[in-house]
Chain A
Amino acid sequence: MVTTEEVDTTRQYEIPEGVLLEFRLAGPLVRAGAWAIDAAIRAVLYIAIGLSFSYFGGVGVAIILIALFLIEWFYPVLFEVKSGATPGKKAMGIWVIHDNGTPVTLSASVIRNLLRAVDFMPVMYGFGLLSMLFNREFKRLGDLAAGTLVVYRDSYEKRPELPSSTAVRPGVELTESEQQAVLAFAERAPALSSERRVELAEILSEISGRKGERAVDGIYGYANWLMKGR
């Protein structure tokens, strides 16, 4: 039976220069985690402010109310404009960007955070959750209005050391995705069981003409050639 496109949680955007950017969208689960962390931070702030200003009578109450208002509405805006992510989002490794991949601006951040009021309805982000579950890009209503995405932040990964082996040029010309598969094998094979390693390597015995551990070694050789051989 023929099925549709491959399911994935990425979104692609082609910039005018023809470069294809790929974002890994963050779903409701990780965003709920980020929200919970932020809510905890805000709760601590509220308690601290409430305790410290409650001794100042009417003026203290006024200051508490103003502080509550400012924190409730502008806590996310402040952090998103500054670094793209609130402390909760940062802890979860996600951040907010525009649909086209540029860093979120003040206006977009204000829109997406003011619309929390709508997402919050009827209680505790009921509409926001439904919107996130059923939107193709996990957007809540505020994201739809502001044109923003919440995505995983790519971290700089240290290039893993490849198993040393003499560089061997593959017998066939490899496409980009095939080269990636060869490199991925070289990077991750040491963590696989030896049987599985051999099983995977023998898929390519047609090309390498080798069997068993020698086949594994052969692919390490290809990987080394791809990395530094030419």
Chain B
Amino acid sequence: MDLSRITINLRPRTPWEGADLGFALARSEFLRLWLLWLASALPFYLVVALLLASEPMLIALLAWWFKPLYEPPLLFWLSRRVFGERLGFSEMRQHWWRIIRPQLFANLTWRRFSTARSFNMPVALLEGLKGSKRRARISVLGRGQHVTGWLTFFGINFEILLELSFLVLLVLLIPTELDWLQMDSLVMSESGVEVWLQHIGSLLAMSLIAPFYVAGGFGIYLTRRSELEGWDIELGFKRLAERVKSKRTFSSAAAGLLLLAMGFMLPGEPPIAAGLPDRDAVRQTIQEVLKDDVFGKREMRDSWEYVGDTDESAEDVPWLLQWLIDIFEGYTQGMATVAEFLLWLAVGLIIAFLLYRVSQMRDWPNLNTLPGLQRRQPLPVTLSGLDIRPESLPEDLVRQAELLLLAGEGRAALSLLYRGALSVLVFRFRLQISIGATEGECLSQVELSQDFSGAAFFRRLTIVWQGMAYGHSLPSAGELEALCQDWDRVFGEQHEE
């Protein structure tokens, strides 16, 4: 073992970092290691598959169980790689049996259950120890190396999850319409194409993880040995010794030359001063380096550039003044708040007043009518469903009513009286009664009217009429008689002005 040829950076590491070192090693040489693993695993797998074609589960189990058979070549190759030697496939093939044979039986039986397989492998394979020596060596090396167990534990998990990932990815990538594969049958099935896909998946997963597993264990092993034996110290000392040696030979040769040239030499010159360059030369070099833009530079610009607002108010104000300003500012701000409140209050009141006014305006159609337009309104021809045109009424209305009353037609007589009254009011007294007004509205209109004095009678008539029309209560004949006489007195022709 020649440490000066080592190709890993030796430094104190934790066991976790040792595993990482192995992983880095495996990654940098992955393709070779992968092919090397497949070179032993694939033939074995195919032979087993041919022999036990009817027992797919057994094939998978055997392929997994015989892992210690495929791993030693990887370790052997890595051990040479660490010291700078990349063995070719032909060399590996020559040594193949010699590499895997040692302690193969033990590896495949009771040692198969070891949780530190990849860590223990170098002891047997590279150090060639057997029996109690091997056990003693492992107990020394393995002290405090629980990471090796975790490496195996997570290695198993990585393998399982990679296999599942492979299968799930397969299902995900096949369109569901084709329905070639089902997730559950792919994972659970014990026959058919699914089982062979499972085998491919597990073989792929094992082959992917194996280089990392072997290299990880080897990395922990190297780290541990380097720690126990001071490999990094040895390497550092050897390099130092070598440097000193080469320097000595060089300097004695140079001294000889000097001696020849000048005839004398300074034997005790300290090595520090000898190696130092000229002070002025150093200064000059420093100046040259500092000229680089990286170390700052001067720049002149002759164009205006906006640099943002300059806030001058806060500058140069004595603290007392500042305090007063703050107080005053607070005061004015308070006042402003009150004023704002009052303003909003006024706005609210105005809006409330306007709403109130609007709600008071009940007669919406009249809102837009000007007084001058009122006369142009057409005179109603019917009111409350009664025809009130003068031509529809008899000439001597009261006489007609009295005749109807004698004939016992009190209902018709009252109707005639009411129609007549409305007709007279609208067409003779020109009372403003809108089309579609009810009896009550007619009455209130009459009572409001200044020009007409018979409001009291009209009120009586309306009540009686309403009582008959809606209440079916016909008044007595005497009362109707009185109404007829009063009608004549109020609405009769003689009262016409």
Which A residues lie at the B interface, using CB under 8 A? Answer: 1-4, 6-10, 24-30, 32-33, 92-93, 121-127, 129-130, 133-134, 136, 138, 152, 172-174, 177-178, 180-182, 184-185, 188-189, 192, 196, 200, 203-204, 206-207
Answer whether A6 and B237 are a contact pair too, CB < 8 Å, given A133-B27, A134-B30, A206-B245: no
- In the bound complex, residues from chain B placing their C-beta under 8 Å from that of A174 are 240
Distance between Cα atoms of A68 and B8 in the complex (Å): 45
Distance between Cα atoms of A2 and B84 in the complex (Å): 7
Partner of A188, one of B86, B233, B244: B233
CB A224 to nearest CB in B, in angstroms, measures: 17
12 A–B contact pairs at CB < 8 A? A9-B17, A92-B16, A123-B164, A129-B161, A130-B208, A136-B27, A178-B240, A181-B232, A200-B237, A203-B234, A206-B244, A207-B244
Distance between Cα atoms of A126 and B228 in the complex (Å): 37
Count A-B pairs with CB separation below 8 Å: 158
- In the bound complex, residues from chain B placing their C-beta under 8 Å from that of A24 are 17
B366 within 8 A of A: no
Distance between Cα atoms of A174 and B85 in the complex (Å): 31
Which B residues lie at the A interface, using CB under 8 A? Answer: 6-9, 11-12, 14, 16-17, 19-21, 23-25, 27-28, 30, 81, 84-86, 147, 150-151, 154, 157-158, 161-162, 164-166, 168-169, 172, 208, 212, 216, 227-230, 232-241, 243-245, 247, 271-272, 275
> Which 4 A-B residue pairs are closest in the complex by CB-CB distance?
A181-B236, A126-B165, A27-B20, A8-B9
Cβ contact within 8 Å between A9 and B234: no
Cβ contact within 8 Å between B19 and A29: yes
Cβ contact within 8 Å between A3 and B234: no
Distance between Cα atoms of A138 and B324 in the complex (Å): 63
Partner of A123, one of B17, B84, B147, B168: B168
Distance between Cα atoms of A189 and B236 in the complex (Å): 14
Partner of A185, one of B12, B86, B230: B230
- In the bound complex, residues from chain A placing their C-beta under 8 Å from that of B23 are 9, 27-29, 133, 138
Answer whether A122 and B237 are a contact pair too, CB < 8 Å, given A3-B86, A173-B271, A173-B272: no
Q: Determine the main DSSP class of B at the interface with A.
A: helix
**Most chain A CB atoms below 10 A, which of B27, B150, B245:** B27
Distance between Cα atoms of A221 and B20 in the complex (Å): 36
Partner of A184, one of B27, B236, B240: B236
Cβ contact within 8 Å between A129 and B229: no
Answer whether A122 and B165 are a contact pair too, CB < 8 Å, given A9-B24, A30-B20, A181-B240: yes
Cβ contact within 8 Å between A126 and B240: no
Distance between Cα atoms of A40 and B243 in the complex (Å): 54
Cβ contact within 8 Å between A6 and B164: no
CB A5 to nearest CB in B, in angstroms, measures: 8
